[in-house]
Amino acid sequence: MSAANTAVKFFRKLEPEDLRTLHVIEANMSRYRYVPEKTMPKLAELPEQETQYRLARLGRFKLVYRWTGSYKGYTLNTAGYDCLAINALVKAGILEAFGKPLGVGKEADVYDALTPENKRIAVKFHRLGRTSFRQTRRVRGYIAERRHVSWLYQSRLAAEKEFQALKLLYPHSIALPEPVSQNRHVVAMGMIEGAELAEHKELPNPSKTLEEVLSNIRKAYVNARVIHADLSEYNIIIMPNWHILIIDWPQFVTREHPNAEQLLRRDMKNIVGFFQRKYKVKTKLEDALNYVQTN
Ligand X SMILES: Nc1ncnc2c1ncn2[C@@H]1O[C@H](COP(=O)(O)OP(=O)(O)OP(=O)(O)O)[C@@H](O)[C@H]1O
Say how far apart CA 13 and CA 15 lie, in whole Å.
6
- Which residues 224-263 are close enough to bind Mg ion by CB under 5 A? 235, 248
The three-class DSSP label of residue 98 is strand
CA distances 46 to 72, 141, 158, Å, are 18, 41, 34
Q: How far is CA 267 from the centre of its chain?
A: 20
Closer to ligand X by Cβ: residue 64 or 226: 226
Whether residue 230 lies in the annotated active site: yes
Which amino acid type is present at position 19?
Answer: L
Say how far apart CA 92 and CA 188 lie, in whole Å.
12
Say how far apart CA 47 and CA 41 lie, in whole Å.
6
102 binds, among Mg ion, ligand X, none (CB under 5 to 8 A by kind): ligand X
Closer to ligand X by Cβ: residue 57 or 185: 185
Binding site for ligand X (CB under 6 A): 102-103, 105-108, 110, 122, 124, 177, 189-192, 196, 235, 247-248
Closest-CB residue for Mg ion? 248
197 binds, among Mg ion, ligand X, none (CB under 5 to 8 A by kind): none
Q: Any contact of residue 37 with Mg ion (CB under 5 A)?
A: no
Say how far apart CA 170 and CA 147 lie, in whole Å.
35
Closer to ligand X by Cβ: residue 124 or 184: 124
Provide the minimum distance between the beta carbon of 275 and Mg ion in the complex, in angstroms, as a whole number.
Answer: 18
Closer to ligand X by Cβ: residue 96 or 107: 107
Provide the minimum distance between the beta carbon of 88 and ligand X in the complex, in angstroms, as a whole number.
Answer: 19
222 binds, among ligand X, Mg ion, none (CB under 5 to 8 A by kind): none
CA atoms 95, 100, 103, 105: torsion sign: positive
So which residues are the catalytic ones?
Answer: 230
